[in-house]
Structure 1
Amino acid sequence: MNPIRDPHELAGEYVLGTLDAAQRREVALALRDDAALRAAVAAWEERLLPLVSLAEPVVPSAALWVRIERSTLPPARPEAPVARWWNALGLWRGLAAGGFAAAAIMAVVVGVRVQAPASPAYMVVLAQPQSMAPGWIVRVNDSRMLRLEPLVRTEVPAQKALQLWTKADGWKGPVSLGLVTPGQPFEVRLDKLPPLQPNQLFEITLEPANGSPIGRPTGPILFIGRAVKTM
Protein backbone atom coordinates (compact mmCIF):
# COMPACT_ATOMS: atom_id res chain seq x y z
CA MET A 1 0.00 0.00 0.00
CA ASN A 2 1.35 3.42 -0.93
CA PRO A 3 2.61 5.02 2.32
CA ILE A 4 2.10 8.51 0.88
CA ARG A 5 -1.69 8.13 0.87
CA ASP A 6 -3.50 9.98 3.63
CA PRO A 7 -4.79 7.18 5.91
CA HIS A 8 -7.96 9.11 6.73
CA GLU A 9 -8.80 9.62 3.07
CA LEU A 10 -7.89 6.00 2.32
CA ALA A 11 -10.17 4.76 5.10
CA GLY A 12 -13.02 6.90 3.76
CA GLU A 13 -12.65 5.51 0.25
CA TYR A 14 -12.48 1.98 1.65
CA VAL A 15 -15.71 2.47 3.59
CA LEU A 16 -17.48 3.99 0.58
CA GLY A 17 -16.28 1.21 -1.73
CA THR A 18 -14.61 3.55 -4.24
CA LEU A 19 -11.26 1.71 -4.25
CA ASP A 20 -10.50 -0.79 -6.99
CA ALA A 21 -10.23 -4.49 -6.15
CA ALA A 22 -6.45 -4.47 -5.70
CA GLN A 23 -6.53 -1.43 -3.41
CA ARG A 24 -9.32 -2.94 -1.32
CA ARG A 25 -7.28 -6.10 -0.84
CA GLU A 26 -4.27 -4.04 0.25
CA VAL A 27 -6.34 -2.10 2.77
CA ALA A 28 -8.00 -5.28 4.06
CA LEU A 29 -4.57 -6.82 4.67
CA ALA A 30 -3.27 -3.65 6.32
CA LEU A 31 -6.25 -3.57 8.68
CA ARG A 32 -4.98 -6.73 10.38
CA ASP A 33 -1.90 -4.99 11.78
CA ASP A 34 -2.63 -1.25 11.55
CA ALA A 35 -4.63 -0.14 14.59
CA ALA A 36 -4.74 3.48 13.42
CA LEU A 37 -6.22 2.44 10.08
CA ARG A 38 -8.81 0.27 11.84
CA ALA A 39 -9.79 3.23 14.02
CA ALA A 40 -10.11 5.47 10.95
CA VAL A 41 -12.34 2.92 9.19
CA ALA A 42 -14.52 2.57 12.29
CA ALA A 43 -14.82 6.36 12.55
CA TRP A 44 -15.88 6.64 8.90
CA GLU A 45 -18.48 3.90 9.36
CA GLU A 46 -19.97 5.71 12.35
CA ARG A 47 -19.82 9.03 10.55
CA LEU A 48 -21.59 7.91 7.39
CA LEU A 49 -24.14 5.61 9.02
CA PRO A 50 -26.73 8.45 9.41
CA LEU A 51 -26.85 8.73 5.61
CA VAL A 52 -28.59 5.36 5.49
CA SER A 53 -31.77 7.06 6.68
CA LEU A 54 -31.77 9.26 3.56
CA ALA A 55 -32.33 6.34 1.20
CA GLU A 56 -35.95 5.70 0.29
CA PRO A 57 -37.20 2.12 0.82
CA VAL A 58 -37.23 -0.01 -2.33
CA VAL A 59 -39.73 -2.83 -2.86
CA PRO A 60 -37.79 -6.06 -3.58
CA SER A 61 -38.39 -7.57 -7.00
CA ALA A 62 -39.73 -11.07 -7.52
CA ALA A 63 -36.31 -12.17 -8.74
CA LEU A 64 -34.74 -10.94 -5.52
CA TRP A 65 -37.15 -13.02 -3.44
CA VAL A 66 -36.15 -16.06 -5.49
CA ARG A 67 -32.48 -15.38 -4.76
CA ILE A 68 -33.26 -14.92 -1.07
CA GLU A 69 -35.09 -18.24 -0.99
CA ARG A 70 -32.19 -19.97 -2.71
CA SER A 71 -29.76 -18.42 -0.26
CA THR A 72 -31.49 -20.23 2.61
CA LEU A 73 -30.52 -23.60 1.11
CA PRO A 74 -27.28 -25.27 2.28
CA PRO A 75 -24.45 -23.62 0.34
CA ALA A 76 -22.64 -25.71 -2.22
CA ARG A 77 -19.49 -23.67 -1.71
CA PRO A 78 -18.11 -21.31 0.94
CA GLU A 79 -20.29 -18.27 1.39
CA ALA A 80 -19.04 -14.91 0.22
CA PRO A 81 -18.30 -12.33 2.91
CA VAL A 82 -21.36 -10.49 4.12
CA ALA A 83 -21.76 -7.16 2.34
CA ARG A 84 -21.57 -4.18 4.64
CA TRP A 85 -24.14 -1.39 4.58
CA TRP A 86 -22.04 1.03 2.56
CA ASN A 87 -21.91 -1.38 -0.37
CA ALA A 88 -25.71 -1.48 -0.63
CA LEU A 89 -26.55 -0.35 -4.16
CA GLY A 90 -30.04 0.69 -3.10
CA LEU A 91 -28.60 3.09 -0.54
CA TRP A 92 -26.45 4.99 -3.01
CA ARG A 93 -29.22 4.98 -5.63
CA GLY A 94 -31.54 6.48 -3.07
CA LEU A 95 -29.04 9.17 -2.13
CA ALA A 96 -28.26 9.95 -5.75
CA ALA A 97 -31.95 10.26 -6.58
CA GLY A 98 -32.14 13.11 -4.11
CA GLY A 99 -29.20 14.89 -5.71
CA PHE A 100 -27.24 14.49 -2.49
CA ALA A 101 -24.67 11.78 -3.07
CA ALA A 102 -22.56 13.44 -5.75
CA ALA A 103 -21.76 16.47 -3.65
CA ALA A 104 -21.94 15.14 -0.11
CA ILE A 105 -20.09 11.87 -0.49
CA MET A 106 -17.27 13.24 -2.63
CA ALA A 107 -16.94 16.24 -0.35
CA VAL A 108 -16.62 14.13 2.75
CA VAL A 109 -14.16 11.66 1.21
CA VAL A 110 -11.84 14.17 -0.40
CA GLY A 111 -11.82 17.07 1.98
CA VAL A 112 -12.80 16.28 5.55
CA ARG A 113 -10.54 14.69 8.14
CA VAL A 114 -11.95 12.09 10.50
CA GLN A 115 -12.88 13.50 13.87
CA ALA A 116 -15.33 12.66 16.62
CA PRO A 117 -17.97 15.40 16.86
CA ALA A 118 -21.42 14.84 18.24
CA SER A 119 -23.74 13.08 15.84
CA PRO A 120 -25.06 15.77 13.52
CA ALA A 121 -28.76 16.47 13.39
CA TYR A 122 -28.42 18.23 10.03
CA MET A 123 -25.86 18.27 7.26
CA VAL A 124 -25.44 20.78 4.44
CA VAL A 125 -23.03 20.60 1.52
CA LEU A 126 -22.33 24.07 0.17
CA ALA A 127 -21.43 23.85 -3.51
CA GLN A 128 -20.57 26.37 -6.19
CA PRO A 129 -23.80 27.37 -7.99
CA GLN A 130 -22.49 26.74 -11.51
CA SER A 131 -20.14 23.77 -11.27
CA MET A 132 -21.75 22.20 -8.16
CA ALA A 133 -18.24 21.55 -6.87
CA PRO A 134 -18.42 21.23 -3.06
CA GLY A 135 -16.56 23.86 -1.08
CA TRP A 136 -17.83 23.69 2.50
CA ILE A 137 -19.78 21.30 4.70
CA VAL A 138 -22.10 22.33 7.53
CA ARG A 139 -23.07 20.21 10.52
CA VAL A 140 -25.56 21.15 13.21
CA ASN A 141 -25.69 18.89 16.25
CA ASP A 142 -28.21 18.32 19.01
CA SER A 143 -26.86 21.22 21.07
CA ARG A 144 -27.67 23.68 18.25
CA MET A 145 -24.01 24.28 17.51
CA LEU A 146 -23.29 24.88 13.83
CA ARG A 147 -19.87 23.94 12.51
CA LEU A 148 -18.73 24.99 9.05
CA GLU A 149 -15.72 23.12 7.63
CA PRO A 150 -13.80 24.04 4.47
CA LEU A 151 -13.23 21.48 1.75
CA VAL A 152 -11.22 23.78 -0.51
CA ARG A 153 -9.25 26.99 -0.17
CA THR A 154 -11.39 29.93 -1.31
CA GLU A 155 -9.50 32.91 -2.71
CA VAL A 156 -11.00 36.19 -1.51
CA PRO A 157 -10.14 39.54 -3.18
CA ALA A 158 -8.67 42.36 -1.12
CA GLN A 159 -11.19 44.36 0.93
CA LYS A 160 -13.71 41.54 0.63
CA ALA A 161 -15.00 38.88 3.03
CA LEU A 162 -17.03 35.68 3.05
CA GLN A 163 -20.36 35.87 4.88
CA LEU A 164 -22.55 32.91 5.85
CA TRP A 165 -26.34 33.19 5.64
CA THR A 166 -29.34 30.98 6.26
CA LYS A 167 -33.04 31.20 5.43
CA ALA A 168 -35.91 28.82 6.15
CA ASP A 169 -39.31 28.74 4.50
CA GLY A 170 -41.52 31.48 5.88
CA TRP A 171 -38.70 33.80 6.91
CA LYS A 172 -38.82 37.36 5.58
CA GLY A 173 -35.22 37.18 4.46
CA PRO A 174 -31.85 35.54 5.07
CA VAL A 175 -30.12 35.89 8.44
CA SER A 176 -26.37 36.40 8.74
CA LEU A 177 -24.46 33.83 10.77
CA GLY A 178 -21.21 35.77 10.59
CA LEU A 179 -18.05 36.33 8.58
CA VAL A 180 -16.05 33.27 7.58
CA THR A 181 -12.27 33.07 7.32
CA PRO A 182 -11.22 31.29 4.10
CA GLY A 183 -9.86 27.81 4.73
CA GLN A 184 -10.72 27.88 8.45
CA PRO A 185 -13.48 26.09 10.40
CA PHE A 186 -16.22 28.30 11.78
CA GLU A 187 -18.60 27.65 14.67
CA VAL A 188 -21.66 29.55 15.83
CA ARG A 189 -24.56 28.78 18.16
CA LEU A 190 -28.08 29.01 16.75
CA ASP A 191 -29.90 29.70 20.02
CA LYS A 192 -31.43 32.94 18.74
CA LEU A 193 -32.86 31.33 15.60
CA PRO A 194 -35.89 29.06 15.19
CA PRO A 195 -35.14 25.32 15.00
CA LEU A 196 -33.58 24.22 11.75
CA GLN A 197 -35.86 22.79 9.09
CA PRO A 198 -35.22 20.20 6.39
CA ASN A 199 -34.33 21.94 3.14
CA GLN A 200 -33.32 25.14 4.96
CA LEU A 201 -31.14 27.29 2.73
CA PHE A 202 -27.51 28.10 3.54
CA GLU A 203 -25.20 30.20 1.39
CA ILE A 204 -21.88 32.01 1.45
CA THR A 205 -21.65 35.32 -0.37
CA LEU A 206 -18.82 37.70 -1.18
CA GLU A 207 -19.30 40.90 0.80
CA PRO A 208 -17.35 44.03 1.85
CA ALA A 209 -14.55 43.44 4.36
CA ASN A 210 -16.80 44.22 7.34
CA GLY A 211 -19.78 42.29 6.01
CA SER A 212 -22.96 43.35 4.29
CA PRO A 213 -23.90 46.91 5.33
CA ILE A 214 -27.64 46.35 4.87
CA GLY A 215 -28.25 43.09 6.76
CA ARG A 216 -28.87 40.98 3.67
CA PRO A 217 -26.64 39.60 0.91
CA THR A 218 -25.30 42.17 -1.53
CA GLY A 219 -22.57 40.23 -3.33
CA PRO A 220 -22.48 37.14 -5.52
CA ILE A 221 -23.32 33.71 -4.10
CA LEU A 222 -20.13 31.63 -3.99
CA PHE A 223 -21.53 28.50 -2.31
CA ILE A 224 -25.07 27.33 -1.66
CA GLY A 225 -26.84 24.27 -0.28
CA ARG A 226 -29.84 23.00 1.68
CA ALA A 227 -30.09 21.19 4.99
CA VAL A 228 -30.66 17.45 5.12
CA LYS A 229 -31.83 15.89 8.37
CA THR A 230 -29.59 12.99 9.33
CA MET A 231 -31.10 11.83 12.61
Structure 2
Amino acid sequence: MSEPEDAYDDDTRAAEYVLRLLEDDMERAFEARLANDRDLQSLVQSWEYYLADLAVDIEEVEPPKAVRSRVLASVADRAGHRSWSPIWSWLAGGLVAAGVMVAVVLGGLFDGSDDLTPSFRAELISEDRSVILTAGVIPATHEIVVERVAGAPPAEQIHELWLIADGADAPVSLGLLQNEGTTRIRVPDEIAPGVRTGTIAISIEPPGGSPTGAPTGPVVAAAQFSDL
Protein backbone atom coordinates (compact mmCIF):
# COMPACT_ATOMS: atom_id res chain seq x y z
CA MET A 1 0.00 0.00 0.00
CA SER A 2 1.36 3.41 -0.90
CA GLU A 3 2.03 5.96 1.80
CA PRO A 4 -0.28 9.00 2.14
CA GLU A 5 2.57 11.20 0.93
CA ASP A 6 2.29 9.56 -2.49
CA ALA A 7 -0.89 11.54 -3.07
CA TYR A 8 0.97 14.84 -2.73
CA ASP A 9 2.19 16.35 -5.98
CA ASP A 10 4.45 19.36 -6.49
CA ASP A 11 1.51 21.74 -6.88
CA THR A 12 0.10 20.75 -3.50
CA ARG A 13 3.53 20.88 -1.84
CA ALA A 14 4.08 24.36 -3.28
CA ALA A 15 0.77 25.56 -1.84
CA GLU A 16 1.56 24.10 1.57
CA TYR A 17 5.02 25.69 1.44
CA VAL A 18 3.53 29.14 0.74
CA LEU A 19 1.05 28.67 3.59
CA ARG A 20 3.86 27.46 5.92
CA LEU A 21 2.09 24.17 6.60
CA LEU A 22 5.09 21.89 6.02
CA GLU A 23 6.97 20.33 8.90
CA ASP A 24 10.50 21.66 9.41
CA ASP A 25 12.26 18.72 7.77
CA MET A 26 9.83 18.67 4.85
CA GLU A 27 10.25 22.43 4.38
CA ARG A 28 14.03 22.12 4.30
CA ALA A 29 13.83 19.32 1.74
CA PHE A 30 11.40 21.35 -0.36
CA GLU A 31 13.66 24.44 -0.26
CA ALA A 32 16.63 22.34 -1.32
CA ARG A 33 14.70 21.33 -4.44
CA LEU A 34 13.36 24.85 -4.89
CA ALA A 35 16.86 26.30 -5.23
CA ASN A 36 17.41 24.65 -8.64
CA ASP A 37 14.00 23.55 -9.91
CA ARG A 38 12.54 26.26 -12.14
CA ASP A 39 9.19 24.47 -12.50
CA LEU A 40 8.87 24.28 -8.72
CA GLN A 41 9.83 27.96 -8.42
CA SER A 42 7.05 28.86 -10.86
CA LEU A 43 4.52 26.88 -8.82
CA VAL A 44 5.54 28.67 -5.63
CA GLN A 45 5.29 32.09 -7.29
CA SER A 46 1.86 31.19 -8.67
CA TRP A 47 0.58 30.16 -5.24
CA GLU A 48 2.09 33.29 -3.63
CA TYR A 49 0.02 35.43 -5.97
CA TYR A 50 -3.11 33.30 -5.62
CA LEU A 51 -3.05 33.15 -1.82
CA ALA A 52 -1.69 36.62 -1.04
CA ASP A 53 -5.03 37.88 0.30
CA LEU A 54 -4.89 35.25 3.05
CA ALA A 55 -2.42 37.53 4.81
CA VAL A 56 -5.05 40.23 5.26
CA ASP A 57 -6.39 40.38 8.81
CA ILE A 58 -10.12 39.81 8.62
CA GLU A 59 -12.39 39.24 11.57
CA GLU A 60 -13.72 35.69 11.74
CA VAL A 61 -17.18 35.45 10.23
CA GLU A 62 -19.34 32.39 9.70
CA PRO A 63 -20.00 32.40 5.94
CA PRO A 64 -23.25 31.34 4.30
CA LYS A 65 -23.20 27.73 3.16
CA ALA A 66 -23.65 28.75 -0.47
CA VAL A 67 -20.55 30.97 -0.35
CA ARG A 68 -18.54 28.20 1.32
CA SER A 69 -19.46 25.78 -1.46
CA ARG A 70 -18.49 28.25 -4.19
CA VAL A 71 -15.13 28.99 -2.59
CA LEU A 72 -14.24 25.32 -2.17
CA ALA A 73 -15.24 24.68 -5.76
CA SER A 74 -13.03 27.55 -6.90
CA VAL A 75 -10.06 26.30 -4.89
CA ALA A 76 -10.49 22.79 -6.27
CA ASP A 77 -10.59 24.19 -9.79
CA ARG A 78 -7.33 26.15 -9.18
CA ALA A 79 -5.63 22.92 -8.14
CA GLY A 80 -6.52 21.33 -11.46
CA HIS A 81 -9.29 19.14 -10.02
CA ARG A 82 -6.74 17.10 -8.09
CA SER A 83 -7.71 14.78 -5.28
CA TRP A 84 -8.67 16.24 -1.89
CA SER A 85 -5.74 16.69 0.47
CA PRO A 86 -5.09 18.12 3.97
CA ILE A 87 -4.40 21.58 2.57
CA TRP A 88 -7.97 21.92 1.33
CA SER A 89 -9.30 20.65 4.64
CA TRP A 90 -7.25 23.39 6.31
CA LEU A 91 -8.61 26.02 3.92
CA ALA A 92 -12.15 24.82 4.50
CA GLY A 93 -12.19 25.60 8.22
CA GLY A 94 -11.05 28.22 10.70
CA LEU A 95 -10.16 31.85 10.44
CA VAL A 96 -8.32 31.71 7.14
CA ALA A 97 -11.19 30.06 5.31
CA ALA A 98 -13.59 32.59 6.79
CA GLY A 99 -11.29 35.36 5.60
CA VAL A 100 -11.23 33.98 2.08
CA MET A 101 -15.00 33.72 2.00
CA VAL A 102 -15.50 37.26 3.25
CA ALA A 103 -13.05 38.48 0.59
CA VAL A 104 -15.06 36.68 -2.08
CA VAL A 105 -18.32 38.21 -0.83
CA LEU A 106 -16.77 41.69 -0.89
CA GLY A 107 -15.66 41.42 -4.48
CA GLY A 108 -13.40 38.44 -5.13
CA LEU A 109 -9.75 37.62 -4.76
CA PHE A 110 -7.27 39.61 -6.82
CA ASP A 111 -9.63 42.11 -8.41
CA GLY A 112 -6.70 44.15 -9.70
CA SER A 113 -7.16 46.99 -7.20
CA ASP A 114 -3.75 46.58 -5.54
CA ASP A 115 -0.87 48.68 -6.81
CA LEU A 116 1.81 46.13 -7.69
CA THR A 117 4.41 48.73 -8.61
CA PRO A 118 7.63 48.62 -6.54
CA SER A 119 8.01 51.73 -4.38
CA PHE A 120 11.52 51.15 -3.02
CA ARG A 121 14.68 49.84 -4.61
CA ALA A 122 18.09 48.61 -3.52
CA GLU A 123 21.19 47.28 -5.26
CA LEU A 124 23.13 44.41 -3.74
CA ILE A 125 26.64 44.44 -5.21
CA SER A 126 29.58 42.40 -3.98
CA GLU A 127 32.89 44.17 -3.43
CA ASP A 128 34.41 42.66 -6.56
CA ARG A 129 31.15 43.19 -8.50
CA SER A 130 30.98 39.52 -9.38
CA VAL A 131 27.49 39.36 -7.82
CA ILE A 132 24.91 42.02 -8.65
CA LEU A 133 21.25 41.89 -7.67
CA THR A 134 18.50 44.48 -7.61
CA ALA A 135 15.62 44.36 -5.13
CA GLY A 136 12.30 46.18 -5.25
CA VAL A 137 9.57 46.36 -2.60
CA ILE A 138 5.85 46.16 -3.43
CA PRO A 139 4.15 47.60 -0.30
CA ALA A 140 0.65 46.48 -1.33
CA THR A 141 1.61 42.80 -1.15
CA HIS A 142 4.62 43.00 1.22
CA GLU A 143 6.77 41.45 -1.50
CA ILE A 144 10.45 41.87 -2.26
CA VAL A 145 11.25 41.14 -5.90
CA VAL A 146 14.92 40.26 -6.38
CA GLU A 147 16.42 40.23 -9.87
CA ARG A 148 19.79 38.53 -10.36
CA VAL A 149 21.76 40.70 -12.77
CA ALA A 150 25.11 38.91 -12.53
CA GLY A 151 26.85 36.17 -10.59
CA ALA A 152 25.67 33.15 -8.64
CA PRO A 153 26.62 31.34 -5.43
CA PRO A 154 29.41 28.74 -5.49
CA ALA A 155 28.54 25.22 -6.63
CA GLU A 156 26.23 23.32 -4.27
CA GLN A 157 25.54 26.46 -2.23
CA ILE A 158 22.83 29.10 -2.27
CA HIS A 159 22.28 32.78 -1.53
CA GLU A 160 19.99 33.60 1.39
CA LEU A 161 18.39 37.03 1.89
CA TRP A 162 18.37 38.61 5.36
CA LEU A 163 16.79 41.64 7.01
CA ILE A 164 18.60 43.56 9.72
CA ALA A 165 15.91 45.90 11.03
CA ASP A 166 16.75 49.11 12.88
CA GLY A 167 17.34 48.29 16.52
CA ALA A 168 17.08 44.54 15.96
CA ASP A 169 19.37 42.22 17.92
CA ALA A 170 19.84 39.76 15.06
CA PRO A 171 19.14 39.36 11.33
CA VAL A 172 15.99 37.59 10.17
CA SER A 173 15.95 35.32 7.13
CA LEU A 174 13.63 36.47 4.36
CA GLY A 175 14.19 33.43 2.16
CA LEU A 176 16.40 31.75 -0.41
CA LEU A 177 17.27 33.31 -3.76
CA GLN A 178 17.11 31.55 -7.09
CA ASN A 179 20.46 31.08 -8.80
CA GLU A 180 19.22 32.95 -11.85
CA GLY A 181 16.30 35.14 -12.87
CA THR A 182 13.79 36.62 -10.45
CA THR A 183 12.90 35.62 -6.91
CA ARG A 184 9.72 36.91 -5.27
CA ILE A 185 9.63 36.82 -1.48
CA ARG A 186 6.63 37.72 0.64
CA VAL A 187 7.74 39.36 3.87
CA PRO A 188 5.75 38.35 6.99
CA ASP A 189 3.42 41.11 8.12
CA GLU A 190 5.05 41.41 11.54
CA ILE A 191 8.46 42.35 10.12
CA ALA A 192 7.40 44.12 6.91
CA PRO A 193 7.49 47.63 8.49
CA GLY A 194 11.22 47.18 9.19
CA VAL A 195 12.15 46.59 5.55
CA ARG A 196 12.03 50.24 4.45
CA THR A 197 14.49 51.50 7.08
CA GLY A 198 16.46 48.32 7.69
CA THR A 199 19.35 46.72 5.85
CA ILE A 200 19.06 43.70 3.59
CA ALA A 201 22.00 41.38 2.98
CA ILE A 202 22.81 38.16 1.17
CA SER A 203 24.98 35.37 2.52
CA ILE A 204 26.32 32.14 1.10
CA GLU A 205 24.61 29.14 2.71
CA PRO A 206 24.32 25.36 2.22
CA PRO A 207 21.39 23.96 0.17
CA GLY A 208 18.17 24.55 2.06
CA GLY A 209 19.53 27.66 3.74
CA SER A 210 21.18 28.41 7.07
CA PRO A 211 20.66 25.58 9.57
CA THR A 212 20.99 27.94 12.54
CA GLY A 213 18.59 30.78 11.77
CA ALA A 214 21.54 33.16 11.37
CA PRO A 215 24.05 33.66 8.53
CA THR A 216 26.67 30.90 8.61
CA GLY A 217 28.61 31.82 5.46
CA PRO A 218 30.20 34.99 4.14
CA VAL A 219 27.97 38.03 3.65
CA VAL A 220 28.32 38.85 -0.05
CA ALA A 221 26.57 42.23 -0.14
CA ALA A 222 24.31 44.51 1.86
CA ALA A 223 22.18 47.56 1.06
CA GLN A 224 19.28 49.75 2.17
CA PHE A 225 16.19 50.64 0.16
CA SER A 226 15.65 54.08 -1.31
CA ASP A 227 12.50 55.63 -2.79
CA LEU A 228 11.89 55.23 -6.50
- TM-score (normalised: structure 2): 0.45
Larger Rg: 1
TM-score, normalised on structure 1?
A: 0.44
